[in-house]
Structure 1
Amino acid sequence: MKKTIKLISAVVIVLCVSAFTINKTSTSEGYKIGDVAEDFTLKNVDGKMVSLADYKNAKGFIVTFTCNTCPYAVAYEDRIIALDKKYAPKGYPVVAIMPNNISIKPDDNLDAMKQRANEKGFTFPYLIDKEQTVYPKFGATKTPHMFVLQKTKKGNVVKYIGAIDDNYKDASSVTTKYVEKAVDALLQGKEVEQTTTKAIGCSIKA
């Protein structure tokens, strides 16, 4: 009888652990196309707190998870600046978020972010996800990792997830500008044709 009880207890424990693992996996995948992204409040390099709700007149957002130290992110900096200059006036500003654990990547700390933003002349907020609570909700895994959101009555709906374009090495050799195509479609009242691509970059350091 005792052996039977021990066996049943062991099976229950295994099932509970399995269920926890499955649940953890399913909830850590982040947003999918069509999901409503939760707003957030993060510190900008100017010391001010920034939320998406601050942008009263925005039609949507180009959210990028990026950093100072990843060569892929650095390679894309000018293109991210260009995205903001092109689309912020049309209602789709860039919002950049640095997701790395600064104890692992000290050169991604807020002071270093501020210096980088000044050097490059960032025209958009560069926020630090210090507690690393925002990037997991989005499901971001790389720097850079792009999310195009459209503001609707339901909230900020995810319309595109993935890479900026198809050539991180050379901007002049790009053949498909994924983010631009997505935003252009939304501005024209159309559906985004290619809603997901594989983000190319460094893994986010947790």
Structure 2
Amino acid sequence: MKKTIKLISVLVIVLSLSAFTIAKSNNDDGYKIGDAAEDFSLKNIDEEMLSLADYKDAKGFIVIFTCNTCPYAVMYEDRITALNNKYASKGYPVIAIMPNNTSVQPGDSFEAMKQRAKEKGFTFPYLIDAQQTVYPKFGATKTPHVFILQKSDGLNIVEYIGAIDDNYKDASAVKTKYVEDAVDALLNGEDILHTETKAIGCSIKA
């Protein structure tokens, strides 16, 4: 009887430790500040494959996971275009990536992406993560979800993760422009004040 109780106790401890390990692993998914992001090759709406390595003169990138169908993402479309218009010429182009499973979210199909980009006049690449292999590496969970990368010694270092700004409802009421502040800091060789914020948006559809 004592052996049985002891065995049960050991099993409980092992299972508890396993659960903790799994939970910790899940919480640690995706890039953290200071990590080097892997390059990727994804299809753009112009049917061409695109990689970060294609931007030879870039100083870094504003990588934004976004989509057609999320109301939050739609509210940010003009602001995303404005970010690219402001910073692409300064070395930080926007790279937009659509991460959703299109069988679950048909409004985010490749054809729908092309149509939306045409309607809105996107000035940035709009890539499809068709195999859903890129967004998990980044740890993106929302649309929109931003990752600012800085080129350093041949690596793309993650410098900021989170939201575009502090007011998804009304661009005119924004008090803190997280992405702009972060890129401006990088351009000026200064420390980023807010390196991580909470991304507000729709859950990515796997």
Structure 2 unaligned segments of length 5 or more: list them: none
The SS at the match of 2:115 is helix
**1:59–1:17 Cα change, 3 Å:** same
What pairs with 1:56-135 in structure 2 (closer than 5 Å)?
56-135=56-135
Deviation at 1:14, TM superposition (A): 3.3
Query: Counterpart of 1:161 in 2: which secondary structure?
Result: strand
TM-score (norm. length: structure 1): 0.91
**Partner amino acid for 2:68?**
N
Q: Which runs of 5+ in 1 are unaligned?
A: none
Q: Distance in 1 between matches of 2:169 and 2:34?
A: 30
Q: Deviations over 1:133-160 (max 9, x none)?
A: 1111111111000111101105111111
- The alignment status of 1:21 with 2:19, answered yes or no, reads no
Report if aligned partners of 1:39, 1:53 keep a CA contact under 8 Å in 2. yes
The one-letter amino acid of 2:131's match is E
Question: Counterpart of 2:202 in structure 1: which amino acid?
Answer: C
Q: Take 1:174 and 1:70, find their aligned partners in 2: how far apart are those partners?
A: 20
Percent identity of the aligned residues?
67
Which aligned pairs between 1:145-164 and structure 2 lie closer than 5 A?
145-164=145-164
Q: What TM-score do you get using the length of structure 2 for normalisation?
A: 0.91
CA RMSD of aligned residues (A): 2.1
Which amino acid is the alignment partner of residue 19 of structure 2? S
Q: Aligned partners of 1:182 and 1:16: how far apart in 2?
A: 39
- The number of residue pairs the alignment matches comes to 205
3-state secondary structure, aligned to 1:88: helix
* Corresponding residue SS for 2:33: coil
CA distance in 2, matches of 1:14, 1:198: 32
